[in-house]
Amino acid sequence: MKTDNLMADHAAAATGKPHETEELTRIGEMAKLFGVTLRTLRFYEDKGLINPQRDGSTRLYTHRDKARLKLILLGRKVGFSLRDVKQMMDLYDPSGSNARQLKVALEKSEKQMARLQKQRALLDEAIADLSLSMDEARRMLAGNTAQQSAA
């Protein structure tokens, strides 16, 4: 179930240090895995959204970083700002009920849902208007073609 996966990802995103046996992922692999640029990963790191380990100048990403990146990308996909995504992730408490985090996430999600539904209505209206214009243009072209054939 998608919700279960998100909750598991969120739990992984909030946990601390990796286990010694945890597989680390280099920045290039991470970018390829998630379909983002290296610049995007560095940007998210600069904003404090992910925190890869360092081995010299090499960035090494843990399961926690992967889970956080997955949540970041989901948040961006549905239209949340990075500030909102960070706020929701930072509210996670692995030892608590997370009622505050869930309440904030729900409030933000309800507001975003309303914005998306309004955008959908505007898009549906624009599509209908454009469709009518295209139909009219086709009728006019068909009339012009018929007049040219008759002449």
Instruction: Note if the pTM is more than 0.85.
Output: no
The per-type count for the chain, helices as H runs and strands as E runs, is: 6, 3
- What is the domain partition of the chain in residue ranges? 2-96, 109-151
- Write the pLDDT tens digit of every residue in 114-147: 999 999 999 999 999 999 999 999 999 998 877 7
Report d(CA 129, CA 53) in Å as an integer. 52
Answer yes or no: CATH 2.30.30.240 is held by domain 2-96.
Answer: no
Please give the pLDDT value at position 6. Answer: 53
| 93-104 per-residue burial string, b: 16 or more CB within 10 A, e: under 16 | eeeeebeebeee
- Write the pLDDT tens digit of every residue in 11-40: 555 554 444 557 999 999 999 999 999 999
3-state DSSP call for residue 46?
Answer: helix
Report d(CA 66, CA 74) in Å as an integer. 12
Q: What angle do CA 59, 37, 20 make, to 5 degrees?
A: 30
Region 74-99 average pLDDT = 93
